[in-house]
Amino acid sequence: MKTTFSIIKADVGGWPGHALVHPDLIELANKKLAVAKKDKLLIDFHVAHCGDDLELIMTHNKGVDAEEIHCLSWDTFCEATEKARDLGLYGAGQDLLSDAFSGNVKGMGPGLAEIEFTERKAEPVIAFMMDKTEPGAFNYPIFKMFADPFNTAGLIIDPSCHDGFVFEVWDIKEHKNVMMKSPEEMYDLLALIGAKSRFVIKRVFPKTSSKLPSKEAVSAISTEKLYQIAGEYVGKDDPVGIVRAQSGLPALGEVLEAFSHGHLVSGWMRGSHNGPLMPVSLKDAQCTRFDGPPRVVALGFQLKNGKLTQPVDLFDDPAFDYTRNKAQHVMEYMRRHGPFEPHRLPMEDMEYTTLPKVMKKLGPRFKKIK
């Protein structure tokens, strides 16, 4: 029997502003998912948050895109929105962009990452959750984990990783995807995924030479772009990702090492600024300075027949203090640029802000330069 690991998330109201999820919403989601576990729809679950995003981590046997699981998530977000309204939280129901749920949360506002796989003897799985950024923020660390030997020693010294991996890359503007092999096509892969607002890594697969089934993803990332659904800026996409580790895959420490740089991502303040991605513990997963900086939390589980161990809050480690300090220096440096690029996003990424309106208003006043 295969296990499905799903993370489905939404911002259904911030406390205060866009800082954090209110504990009453976490409690509500816990109660709702506990009933689903009792009813055997879920094998297990864990409710978490990153910043103002409510994260439902669930295991089950229903496969990816299962209507019952999506329905459960949607209902949970709707009830949490009601609670958020009662409490007067900010932007209640922010990410629920449609009233007409039709069996799948895709394209409705929530973000999701799901993998169905055959459990190994011991199955370490890491749930990554980000706030104040976009799906392309995962490109750099996922590439580092599965393709960069300076990050992942196993690519060189572990015979079961040595052949590399296959990346599924989505062009989220043209709605197309392409499968690319690493290391053979590494330079072409980087040519695409370096343009992170357009090309995003959706999944990673083992090669056919691997001892792992080559059709079962070893990593998956949410790729929903809220502005494409809503047609205007309503909040940032705040992605989630799943990564399986060890025994033919990057070791846990190689997976986490990919976050040690504090790389620059888009989505800080009003979804319109670049800033460093800071890896933090759950207790620090609240976005305060200039609504940020962008953050990532990592919860590590061992899985057994779909049952989850207690999560380990993986960035709750002084070994990441240096990255956090560096991110704070970079944050200060970027902030001093105020409304100037490259702190503010380039024109083409400001399509859903006031910038086009400013251009329209000033249009008649622009005179041709002779």
Residues serving a catalytic function are: 11, 233, 236
Taking the least distance from each CB to Mg ion, the nearer of 20 and 169 is 20
In this chain, which stretch among 23-31, 107-115, 238-246, 337-345 interacts with Mg ion, using CB under 5 A? 238-246
How many C-beta atoms surround the C-beta of residue 124 within 10 A?
20
The option from Mg ion, ligand 13P, none interacting with 251 (CB < 5 to 8 A, set by class) reads ligand 13P
* Residue 292 DSSP code: B
- Residue 238's closest CA among 321, 198, 158, 295? 295
The option from ligand 13P, Mg ion, none interacting with 62 (CB < 5 to 8 A, set by class) reads none
**Binding of ligand 13P at residue 148 (CB under 6 A)?**
no
**Binding of ligand 13P at residue 324 (CB under 6 A)?**
no
Residue from the set 50, 251, 277, 330 that interacts with ligand 13P by CB under 6 A: 251
Residue from the set 61, 104, 177, 246 that interacts with ligand 13P by CB under 6 A: 246
Stretch (H or E) spanning 145 = helix 139-147
Q: How far is the CB of 67 from ligand 13P (least distance, A)?
A: 27
Ranges within 42-61 binding Mg ion (CB under 5 A): 51-53
Residue from the set 9, 49, 132, 225 that interacts with ligand 13P by CB under 6 A: 132
How many C-beta atoms surround the C-beta of residue 187 within 10 A?
9
Two tokens, residue 309: 């161990």
Ranges within 113-142 binding Mg ion (CB under 5 A): 131
Taking CA atoms, 161 is separated from 137, 193, 279, 328, in Å, by 24, 22, 26, 34
Phi and psi at 46, nearest 5°, equal -150, 130
**Strands (DSSP E) found in the chain:** 3-10, 44-50, 53-60, 111-117, 123-131, 165-171, 176-182, 199-206, 219-221, 240-244, 264-267, 273-276, 278-279, 295-304, 307-308, 312-313
Q: How far is the CB of 273 from ligand 13P (least distance, A)?
A: 9
In this chain, which stretch among 55-63, 193-201, 245-253, 321-329 interacts with ligand 13P, using CB under 6 A? 245-253
Question: Who contacts 256 (Cβ-Cβ below 8 Å, separation ≥6)?
Answer: 126, 279, 298, 314, 315
Q: How far is the CB of 271 from ligand 13P (least distance, A)?
A: 5
**Binding of ligand 13P at residue 11 (CB under 6 A)?**
yes
Taking the least distance from each CB to ligand 13P, the nearer of 18 and 196 is 18
**Binding of Mg ion at residue 238 (CB under 5 A)?**
yes
**Binding of ligand 13P at residue 224 (CB under 6 A)?**
no
**Binding of ligand 13P at residue 238 (CB under 6 A)?**
yes
**Binding of ligand 13P at residue 55 (CB under 6 A)?**
no
In this chain, which stretch among 31-39, 72-80, 113-121, 230-238 interacts with ligand 13P, using CB under 6 A? 230-238
The option from ligand 13P, Mg ion, none interacting with 225 (CB < 5 to 8 A, set by class) reads none
Q: How far is the CB of 24 from Mg ion (least distance, A)?
A: 16
Residue from the set 247, 260, 309, 353 that interacts with ligand 13P by CB under 6 A: 247
Please, what's the b/e burial string for 282-319 (b: 16 or more CB within 10 A of its CB; e: otherwise)? beebbbeebbbbbbbbbbbbebeebebeebebbbeeee
Q: How far is the CB of 14 from ligand 13P (least distance, A)?
A: 6
- Residue 140's closest CA among 52, 239, 234? 239
| 30, 59 contact by CB (below 8 A) | no
DSSP one-letter string for 294-345: -EEEEEEEEEETTEEPPPEETT-SGGGHHHHHHHHHHHHHHHTTTTSTTTBP
- Residue 4's closest CA among 47, 54, 48, 66? 66
The residue ranges that bind ligand 13P (CB under 6 A) are: 11, 18, 51-52, 94, 131-132, 158, 235-236, 238, 246-247, 251, 253, 269-271, 291
The residue ranges that bind Mg ion (CB under 5 A) are: 11, 14, 18, 51-53, 131, 235, 238
